[in-house]
Structure 1
């Protein structure tokens, strides 16, 4: 029988620091949020103040013009920036996106593998500010970028 990762457990989230929680997720001990699977994105690295994702848009992520929907980029960037902030959240606290902004520089066509790297610019007691870029995994071209402010909450 294959063991499956633990699904979301709020008590565990609060008990661990954000970096510990994401490291456990990266190690397969905690299941990622279901939306990541729906959007074709995966956490591939965490370090203090940084989170890295790999993603590949699929045809079902398209919009009415047949290009990748802006919401796909938004989800990927929100995950990268939010998880970067999460790496600096202490045990007993969690974060939520307060606002984010994205800019799409070029179309990531279905099947194109990209990487999104989120980096913290400010990690405070009440807020965290981060930026992220989405670049082609093979060509290094910039596809999108963004910035966020996250609220840090306790309990």
Structure 2
């Protein structure tokens, strides 16, 4: 068969880790795909972005402002900090998930240490235990201006396989 008659092959899906690494280093092409949705809808809505990625780790950055993200006390809402931690943990865990798997958070424990009014936040998540089905994660959120930790989080994530992973 002449080369001009060879049908094009579908692009090979990248692992989430390789996809996000390419995104960060600027080598991601329009034809690159992965089995999960990146960028996520929530990251686009809130405006946080991935700034570092590794196997079982992720760092995000977010511009927090109590004028936009505030609670009744006038500080950045703790629920927003929980969302940022959950997003970082989910991103970290997605680097370990195969194309035929998915996952779900089982819990999220938050400890709020300091208030935030307006700050560029750095959200760092990492696996503290990687199991076949259940993994544990930790996450710290730091203020950009002084590096102080404003909240810490712990989460348990469960791998989903087979029928449990379909459509999730």
| Cα distance between partner residues in 2 of 1:143 and 1:64 | 18
Q: TM-score, with normalisation over the residues of structure 1?
A: 0.79
Q: Return closer, same or farther for 1:127/1:17 CA change in 2, 3 Å cut-off.
A: farther
Where relative contact order (Cα < 8 A, 6+ residues apart) is larger, the structure is 1
Q: Does 1:74 align with 2:82?
A: yes
Residue aligned with 1:57, SS: strand
- Structure of higher CA gyration radius: 2
Q: TM-score, with normalisation over the residues of structure 2?
A: 0.74
Q: Report the count of equivalent residues.
A: 141
| Cα distance between partner residues in 1 of 2:60 and 2:92 | 11
The worse-fitting range, judged by mean Cα deviation, of 44-53 and 30-39 is 30-39
Instruction: Say what the alpha-carbon RMSD is for the aligned residues.
Output: 2.2
C-alpha displacement of 1:24: 5.3
The equivalent of 1:122 in structure 2 is 129
- Is there any run of 5+ residues in structure 2 with no aligned partner, and where? 1-10, 31-36
Kindly indicate whether the alpha-carbon contact (under 8 Å) linking 1:16 and 1:91 is maintained by their aligned counterparts in 2.
no
C-alpha displacement of 1:34: 2.2
- Is there any run of 5+ residues in structure 1 with no aligned partner, and where? 1-11
